[in-house]
Amino acid sequence: MEDMYFKYYLTLIQWRIQSSILVAFAAYAAAAPGSIKVRNTGGYTAVFRVEFDHGGKKESRSSGDFTLGVNKAITIPDGAKNIFVKVEEYWIGRQKTTVFTKSYSSAVTKVSRDQLHHFKLLRSRFVLFEVLRISTMNYSLPYHPFATELELSGVGRELKYVVFENQLLAYTVGLVYVVLVFSLQTWMKNRKPFKLKLFSISWNFFLFVVNTIGFCRMIVHIVFVLRIEGFHSSVCNDEINEKDAVALFWSSLFPFVKIIELGDTFLIVLQKRFLATFYWTHHLFALLVTWYIFPFFTSATEWFGLLIYFNHIPIYFLATIKSLGIKLPKKYSTGLMISEVGHMVSGIALCSAIFYLIFTHQYCDTSLLNNFVLMVAYVTCLILSAYLLYYRFLRTTKNSDMKSTNNDIPTDKNSPEMSA
């Protein structure tokens, strides 16, 4: 029996190698005018070609070579017919091997689920060539006021590849972050707090500006896509995101902003202020999840980035005010917690919408696993945020009512509400 299973797996692996298909792509044909895009998610160098009839002549276009994590698109002119797609890969020690072909007699607007081409090997992550939803977008771009040369330079695409190729960096940074937090707390135990008022003001104001600009750039992009193609394309079709250099820059910058925001914790520790466990674990959790899912999310990344940029604007604005030495009523801190809960609810709703699109067999340019990871992250943070909101506001209100009749109730000076 064991020999039979061994031979079965040996044959499967041998066939797997001989077929020279270890690279997974996602390709979709577009209604004319539109494009055909192939994404390389397997790690081997590939090239794809498109042939079509246009104006009584047969034309051929090639994508050029592209490697892991790179998207390539070929524009199809208006009126193109008899579209033929061919994808090839470079195999070790061999010439180019054709791994996918598909013909379209005329322009297509949507391909049903039963037309998808699946190829499952030992691991379910290997999916070969899915013919997906067509984009009819004409690639006009939204207008971003006062866009800088840096934003328009296309560096956002490079930042995205940096994240994709260096995902382990987040785990290294996270480990160093945790070690430094506890080490600094121990080191500061018998020392006076540092006077970092000016630096704290500059730090919080800088992050307030970054999040404000990020939100303004992202909202222009998302409103534009919603107006042109609707909600589905805004979360599931990354065509316009690859073209909009400004929005791509700010969505690609987001993972690096999560690293910068870790500095908040060190400011708290060095000034010997109360550091809630929820605070530093939330920073760490957000960093790891962002760097894990970001390279595989496209359009959805714009939405999640928008939500977080928006949520952080009042947080860093009020932090700047507090750094100036201005005392704020507790209702502002409570408002921030309510905003945090609203952010988590919005994230869960967005993940649920993506799940719906996937399970109803509609094209969505993301994976089930990554959306699941993000959903778990949002649900976890919602539970913690809701608990903290209750602890800071509802429970405190009850204690205040009790104090009016009993002044002997002790106050926990280390509780979150005392450190607000």
Give pLDDT, residue 233.
78
Could you tell me which residue, 358 or 394, shows the higher pLDDT?
358
Distance in angstroms (rounded) separating the CA atoms of residues 346 and 307: 8
Give pLDDT, residue 75.
67
Give pLDDT, residue 282.
86
Could you tell me which residue, 418 or 219, shows the higher pLDDT?
219
Percentage of residues in the chain having pLDDT higher than 70: 62
Res 137 pLDDT > 60: no
End-to-end CA separation in angstroms for the chain? 66
Distance in angstroms (rounded) separating the CA atoms of residues 357 and 350: 11
Virtual CA dihedral for 403, 406, 410, 415, nearest 10 degrees? -20
User: Could you give all domains of the chain from N- to C-terminal order, each with its CATH number?
Assistant: 2-115 (2.60.40), 149-419 (no CATH)
Percentage of residues in the chain having pLDDT higher than 90: 23
Strand bridging mode 81-90 / 96-104: antiparallel
Taking only the tens place, the pLDDT of each residue in 300-349 is: 888 888 999 999 999 999 999 999 988 888 888 888 888 889 999 999 99
Mean local confidence (pLDDT), 179-185: 94
Tell me which residue of 230, 27, 33, 220 sits closest to 139, measured CA to CA: 33
Q: Give the lowest-confidence range in 58-67, 136-145, 298-307, 347-356.
A: 136-145
Res 62 pLDDT > 90: no
* pLDDT category of residue 216 using cuts at 50, 70 and 90: very high
CA contacts within 13 A on the Cβ side of 123: 6
Mean local confidence (pLDDT), 103-128: 36
pTM, entire model: 0.64
Cα angle, residue 347 at apex, residues 344 and 352 outer, rounded to 5°:
125
Give pLDDT, residue 9.
41
